[in-house]
Amino acid sequence: MTTAPPIEARGLVKRYGHVTAVDDVDLNVSAGDVYGYLGPNGAGKTTSLRMLLGLIRPDAGSAKLFGRDPLAEGARALDGVAGFVEAPRFYPYMSGRRNLEMAAALDGDGAEKRIDEALETVDLADRAGDKVGGYSHGMRQRLGIAGALLRAPRLLLLDEPTTGLDPAGMRDMRALIRRLAGQGITVLLSSHLMAEVEELCDRVAIIGSGHVLYEGALAELIASAAGRYELRTTDDAFAAEIAARHGEVAEIPGGLSFGGDERAAAELSVALGVAGVGITALVPRTATLEELFFSMTEGPSLNGRREVAVR
| Ordered domains of the chain (ranges, CATH) | 7-222 (3.40.50.300), 227-285 (3.30.70)
What 3-state DSSP class applies to 140?
A: helix
* Residues 6 or more apart in contact with residue 269 via CB below 8 angstroms: 279, 282
Residue type, 268: L
The predicted model scores a pTM of 0.78
Evaluate if residue 307 carries a pLDDT over 60. Answer: no
Evaluate if residue 301 carries a pLDDT over 80. Answer: no
- pLDDT (tens digit per residue) in 67-93: 999 999 988 899 999 988 888 899 999
Q: Please report the pLDDT score of residue 203 as a whole number.
A: 94
Evaluate if residue 302 carries a pLDDT over 70. Answer: no
Backbone angles phi, psi at 93, to 5 degrees: -85, 0
Mean pLDDT of 105-125: 90
Q: What confidence category does residue 196 fall into, taking pLDDT thresholds of 50, 70 and 90?
A: confident
Q: For the chain, give the mean pLDDT.
A: 87
- Please list the residues that pair with 248 across neighbouring strands: 259
Q: Please report the pLDDT score of residue 311 as a whole number.
A: 23
Mean pLDDT of 193-199: 86
Evaluate if residue 44 carries a pLDDT over 90. Answer: no
With b for 16 or more beta-carbon neighbours within 10 A and e for fewer, the 153-173 pattern comes to bbbbbbbbbbbebeeebbebb
Q: Please report the pLDDT score of residue 284 as a whole number.
A: 83
Mean pLDDT of 137-143: 92
Q: Please report the pLDDT score of residue 308 as a whole number.
A: 31
Mean pLDDT of 30-52: 89
Evaluate if residue 218 carries a pLDDT over 60. Answer: yes
Q: Please report the pLDDT score of residue 274 as a whole number.
A: 94
Q: Please report the pLDDT score of residue 306 as a whole number.
A: 35
Q: Please report the pLDDT score of residue 235 as a whole number.
A: 94
Backbone angles phi, psi at 36, to 5 degrees: -90, 125
